Amino acid sequence: MLPRNRYPCYQARGAQGTGGNARSSRWPPSQSSPWFGKEGIQRLASYRDATLVSSPKPPVVWAFLFVPASKDLASRTKKNMPLLDKFGRQIYDLRVSVTDRCNFRCVYCRSANPENNMAEHALLEWDEYERLVKILVGMGIRKVRVTGGEPLVRPGVEEFIARLKKLGVQDLSMTTNGHLLVDRLDALVAAGLDRINISLDSLNKEKFEQVTRTKTFDQVMAGIEAARASSLRPVKVNAVLVRGLNDDEVEAFAEFAREKDIVMRFIEFMPLDADRAWNRDLMVPAAEVYKRISAKWPLIPVVHERSETARKYRFADSGGEIGLIAPVTQPFCGHCSRIRLTADGKLRTCLFSKDDHDLKSLLRGPATDREIGDAIHAIVDQKEKGHRINEPDFVAPSRTMVFIGG
Ligand code: SAM
Ligand code: SF4
């Protein structure tokens, strides 16, 4: 493991008194810098007093410089401290799985054979989700994606979206297979949903039915149209490419993005399928997708947040965008800002974590919000450096995608 003091963000947290070696070698001694060390703080204090007398508003910089010296802040609970892992990554993105149930059986996700669903009482209640998300928003979570299983099969998800919005979640999105979307969309928008991702693995009806093991192509296409006609933006459509199954449709999907002016995202198949059929030959690398699309239409890179999973491109000559999500061939773990809450109340620090961490028993026991916040900090501190899919000793997690929430 790399030493903690190589991560400036971690040091910033350490400097606020939450553990760590903040004043380590990275901080210059007071002689070489007038603003650090004990003398520096005294100097700043007298300068601040002088400034406060002469200026009605203290400069914003004081708020930052005096954090380490503030007694109030030092005594703050961890519950309100931003979530930073030991590698300095700030965690602000939460995926919430609201169910392990799904009305599809996509070949790359679920098995054709019925799995055992979790018992109803094992699933978190809406109130329990709300309490946890509230605690997490207080710790800096600003993006929440509601997922599953299929989130729209759980009754009450619209009300849950409204409750999340009231908590102050800034970016509230949902990933859905789209089957039930047409009838539910207005309520989701009214509840405050900001964005939507809809899965569509083939533009060919027969093949779609083969992939999802359902006969719902027309409903899903209608769901995409309804989303386009709504106020939700951007509308993103996700396709997991599997070699020999739908990889012949890369150009057709790109054409679909251009015609419909949507974001078409290509996701590399990951070893999270229930049948354990994944192998490298079945995965279509994002570089191949880029090469094939850019050979037909010039692509222009779109600026994205470093922690975003997709590398984004727009078409030089039309509307529409493509997103390439390459967790296998171009892992983005170094900038990961995500944690995941499963439907049975487990917190996961990575899709590929070997273990998850039980929060449900804390929620159902006497723990206070502060204690739960402390537990979350301790869990995030264990976030893995990366997923290790490409390591020779990689072992797929026991939970598959439908149980984790994508
Ligand atoms: N049921 C919803 C849906 O399909 O959109 C939400 C849950 S699903 C687990 C979330 C996302 O994970 C979907 O975009 C799906 O295509 C993707 N996914 C499922 N299994 C996958 C796998 N083995 N590799 C890559 N992506 C996968
Ligand atoms: Fe269901 Fe989504 Fe998995 Fe397909 S990808 S089986 S729709 S959870």
Instruction: For residue range 101-144, list pLDDT tens digits in order.
Output: 999 999 999 999 887 899 999 999 999 999 999 999 999 999 99
pLDDT at 1: 32
Choosing from 174, 175, 184, 283 the residue with most ligand 1 atoms within 8 A of its CB, the one to mutate for a pocket test is: 175
Structural domains in the chain, CATH included, are 8-54 (no CATH), 82-404 (3.20.20.70)
Residue 81: pLDDT band with limits 50, 70, 90: confident
Residue matched to tokens 């999802």:
212
Measured from the alpha carbon of residue 400, the closest ligand is 1
Asked if the model's pLDDT at residue 19 lies above 60, the reply is no
Asked if the model's pLDDT at residue 34 lies above 80, the reply is no
Q: Which of 143, 140, 134 is nearest to 166 (CA)?
A: 134
Asked if the model's pLDDT at residue 23 lies above 50, the reply is no
Asked if the model's pLDDT at residue 56 lies above 60, the reply is no
**Centre of ligand 2 from the C-alpha of residue 149, in Å:** 6
pLDDT digits (tens, 9 = 90+) for 204-234: 999 999 999 999 999 999 999 999 999 999 9
Nearest atom in ligand 1 to the alpha carbon of residue 199 is 5
93 contacts 337 by C-beta, under 8 angstroms: yes
Q: Is 177 in the pocket of ligand 2 (CB under 6 A)?
A: yes
More confident: 292 or 332:
292
- Report the pLDDT averaged over residues 373-389: 92
**Centre of ligand 2 from the C-alpha of residue 148, in Å:** 8
**Centre of ligand 2 from the C-alpha of residue 177, in Å:** 7
Q: Is 150 in the pocket of ligand 2 (CB under 6 A)?
A: yes
Q: Is 109 in the pocket of ligand 2 (CB under 6 A)?
A: yes
Q: What is the pTM of this model?
A: 0.82
- Rounded CA-CA distance 350/333 in Å is 9
- Report the pLDDT averaged over residues 338-345: 97
pLDDT digits (tens, 9 = 90+) for 303-326: 988 888 899 999 999 999 999 999
Residue 78: pLDDT band with limits 50, 70, 90: low
pLDDT at 13: 27
Average pLDDT, the chain: 83
**Centre of ligand 1 from the C-alpha of residue 397, in Å:** 15
Nearest atom in ligand 1 to the alpha carbon of residue 273 is 23
Residue 79: pLDDT band with limits 50, 70, 90: low
Residue 389: pLDDT band with limits 50, 70, 90: confident
pLDDT at 182: 98
- Report the pLDDT averaged over residues 250-268: 98
